[in-house]
């Protein structure tokens, strides 16, 4: 599983264009809430909200990120928004920065927990290189499926994360800011979709 978080790098028509590229490589798109309607009309690949508030305005999305470092929220708010998301039929990916926090979130029963050390987000060194033990410890500490993100830039970063027990990755700047997103996605997903 690979989720491309568009952040604010790609919006509107540019988000649609990148989503079509993601579709070709079987990647999930996490887009700004205002872009969900236009993007989900144009592609068949799953479209996730980057975040939701206290209602889900557009029903064609397939999931949502919650508590991403760009939109941190309290445990109380995570619980409330998980209920809202589940009621709307959305898959849920709750982000956190460490294993301790992952254990707290695990009790809330999201579909996935994404562990992303804040200091590595947007960088060139991946969590699977810099902090492999974080992925391993989190996978062992929780019952929920674990994804990882932060600095994921290469196919090897993804392969290492999967070997450590992660079920997938979140990628943002490596694809959304790439001059040739299709080339980058082809590189990242090579061999992954054969699993």
Which residues are identified as catalytic? 68, 116
Q: Taking the alpha carbons of 106, 195, 134, 121 in that order, is the dihedral positive or negative?
A: negative
DSSP string, 156-185: HHHHHHHHTT-SEEEE-HHHHT-SSHHHHH
| C-beta atoms surrounding 186 within 10 Å | 14
Q: Residues with Cβ < 8 Å from 74, sequence gap 6 or more?
A: none
Residue found by looking up tokens 């028509």 in the block: 13
Rounded CA gap, 14 and 52, in Å?
Answer: 21
Residue found by looking up tokens 């649609």 in the block: 16
């Amino acid at each position: 599983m690979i989720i491309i978080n568009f952040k604010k790098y790609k919006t509107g028509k540019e988000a649609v264009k990148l989503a079509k590229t993601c579709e070709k490589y079987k990647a999930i798109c996490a887009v700004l809430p205002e872009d969900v309607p236009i993007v989900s009309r144009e592609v068949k690949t799953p479209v996730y909200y980057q975040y939701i508030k206290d209602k889900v305005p557009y029903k064609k999305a397939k999931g949502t990120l919650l508590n991403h470092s760009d939109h941190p929220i309290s445990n109380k708010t995570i619980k409330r928004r998980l209920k809202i998301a589940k009621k709307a039929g959305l898959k849920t990916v709750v982000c956190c920065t460490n294993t301790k926090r992952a254990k707290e979130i695990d009790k809330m029963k999201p579909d996935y927990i994404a562990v992303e050390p804040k200091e590595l987000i947007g960088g060139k060194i991946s969590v699977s290189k810099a902090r492999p033990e974080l992925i391993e410890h989190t996978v062992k500490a929780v019952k929920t499926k674990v994804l990882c993100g932060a600095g994921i830039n290469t196919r090897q970063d993804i392969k290492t994360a999967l070997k450590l027990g992660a079920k997938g990755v979140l990628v943002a700047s490596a694809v959304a800011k790439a001059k040739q997103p299709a080339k980058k996605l082809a590189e990242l997903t090579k061999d992954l979709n054969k699993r």
